[in-house]
Amino acid sequence: MSGKGRSGMRPWKYILLAVALLLAINALTGRRHQNTYTYPNLPAPIAREPVLVTTAGLGAEGLIVAKMCEQLNLDYDYHYQGTPADLADKESLILVLGVSPAGISSIYTTADDEKNRVLNLVDYAADRHIPIIVVHPGGMDRRGGLNDQLINAVVPLASYVLVAGDGDQDGLFTRLTRARNIPLTEVAGINELEVPLNSAFR
């Protein structure tokens, strides 16, 4: 008997095992992302102009997304605390998720008041079949607490969801969008949101 170690498995069996493992991994990955449109764009536009851009949580990210709309030459209005009255003459809504305790306290409102404002706005849009684009640019720093309450409330009514960074690290956005067959795009960082956002309109 030779002194060299042997596994007792022929080389072709290793190959078959490796192929089977890769197929299994691919199947699992495919199930998780079966409704996720891959960056950089949607297959067809789902929104129209003019657009209302507003925050959900009074975070500074709303202004960043509004600046993207300007760079994309979209016909938009930005309102920090958008209301149904601001949406009355608009064809689409971009809702930028991200709760800022400093933002809430700076305008002397409460978390409950902010949540009610957002829910009233989203309900108004949904009742009138106005496309809702939900953008979450802040990663896991904008998760938990009121952030997750708003995510659970508004994502099921969205027409398209954009998530930057590690915001879907726990799979919450994936679960919510998959349940309603809502397109979801995940990008590495906030600067990469512009291309998929543009694809929603053109």
Domain boundary assignment for the chain = 8-36, 51-199
- Could you check whether the bond before residue 50 is cis, i.e. omega within 30 degrees of 0? yes
pTM, two decimals, is: 0.81
Average pLDDT (93-113) is 94
Average pLDDT (180-202) is 94
Rounded Cα distance, 44 and 88, in Å:
25
Strand partners, 45: none
111-146 burial: b if 16+ Cβ within 10 Å, else e: beebbebbbebbebbbeeebbbbbbbbbbeebbeeb
Is 37:165 a contact under the CB 8 Å cutoff? Answer: no
Q: Is the dihedral of CA 48, 52, 58, 59 positive or negative?
A: positive
Band (pLDDT 50/70/90 cuts) for residue 40 is low
Average pLDDT (91-100) is 97
Is residue 2 pLDDT above 50, yes or no? Answer: no
Average pLDDT (25-54) is 68
Is residue 165 pLDDT above 60, yes or no? Answer: yes
The second-level CATH assignment, the architecture, of 51-199 is 3-Layer(aba) Sandwich (3.40)
Q: What is the pLDDT, as a whole number, of residue 16?
A: 47
The Cα-based distances of 72 to 50, 80, 108, 145, 197 in angstroms read 13, 20, 33, 33, 9
Q: What is the pLDDT, as a whole number, of residue 43?
A: 85
Q: What is the pLDDT, as a whole number, of residue 110?
A: 94
Q: What is the pLDDT, as a whole number, of residue 37?
A: 59
